[in-house]
Amino acid sequence: ASMGRTLVELFYDVISPYSWLGFEVLCRYQPIWNIDLRFRPAFLGGIMQQTGNKPPAMLPKRGEYMLKDIKRMAKYYQVPIQISGDDFKRILATSSLAAMRFLTAVDMTNPQYLEPLSREFWMRFWSQHEDISQPENILAVARQAGLSPELSQKVLEMTSSPAVKDRLKETTAEAMKHGAFGMPAVVAHYNGEPHLFFGSDRLELLGSVIGESTLKTSLC
């Protein structure tokens, strides 16, 4: 193993509850592992469309399992996801495009807000069951994450710019280039090559590949 730090990229979308789980677990490992964690806001809708993937809940048995699975993982990792069967309809009826463009614009201009802002989007959608697709809701999330009203407004205006739209498309395409077909997609750049891990339940495996040990006790 090299003495340098391992770059670990998290490609995520705030519409995805598993992305939230992966995000929080990686945030907890970041101070313990020799990694540089990079958040990469991408658009899940684009990945699903271009890879021909379907939401798991489209398959009733898979949907039933997913409900139990998310509840168990949320409890295990102490992430406040509140999920019920009705949420599948809510996800299908919500576009995360505006939220992911907003996160992309923040990443381009004020990246220090990316972590708290992403967390607030998940909190709003998955804990409070509030909308994240309308401008006024996006501004409320930004306020909650500590952005000033002036900055929030400026970032919101940026979301319609070609620069922001293109960056989100590029990041989404990059995730697919690494082999992503859903979210979260975690890519560890180790020993000169990228290693893709799909989902939030492969992070122990990620640790073993990059030579880091995972101890649940270290998270508590």
What is the residue whose two structure tokens read 């463009």?
101
- Please report the sign of the dihedral spanned by the C-alpha atoms of residue 45, residue 46, residue 48, residue 49: positive
Go through 197-210 and write b for each residue having 16 or more CB atoms within 10 A of its CB, e for each that does not. bbbbeebeebbeeb
Pairing relation of β-strands 6-12 and 35-41? parallel
> What is the separation of C-alpha 64 from the centre of its chain, rounded to a whole number of angstroms?
22
Region of 82 please: left (phi>0), alpha (psi -120 to 50) or beta.
beta
68 vs 56: CA distance, rounded Å: 13
- Tell me which of 16, 96, 152, 200 is the catalytic residue: 16
Go through 32-61 and write b for each residue having 16 or more CB atoms within 10 A of its CB, e for each that does not. ebebebebbbbbbebbbeeeeeebebeeee
Question: In this structure, what are the phi and psi dihedrals at residue 194, rounded to the nearest 5 degrees?
Answer: -85, 140
> Active site includes 218?
no
Catalytic residues: 16
